[in-house]
Amino acid sequence: MTTAPGLLCDNQLLVRSFAWRRDATHGVKNAREKAQAHEAEIRRRFTDTAPTECGTLEAPRVIRRSAWRLW
């Protein structure tokens, strides 16, 4: 299981990510780093927007609207 995450097909990537995360929770040495690399590749492939499109990492501001008056 030494194939780079970027070279795997989607199904293989998901299966290996799950396996590395399981091994990491069982205390296998270096499994955490490999799980994180696979999970980062999953996020890169399956998210709609790239981080550079957002401009900033700040949370979007919520515009508060005044409550409607009933009378």
Q: What are the structure tokens assigned to 59, written together?
A: 């949370």
Where in the chain are the domains?
9-47
pTM as predicted: 0.63
Summarised one tens digit per residue, pLDDT across range 12-55 is 999 999 999 999 999 999 999 999 999 999 998 888 655 544 45
CA–CA–CA angle 9, 13, 24 (5° rounding): 165
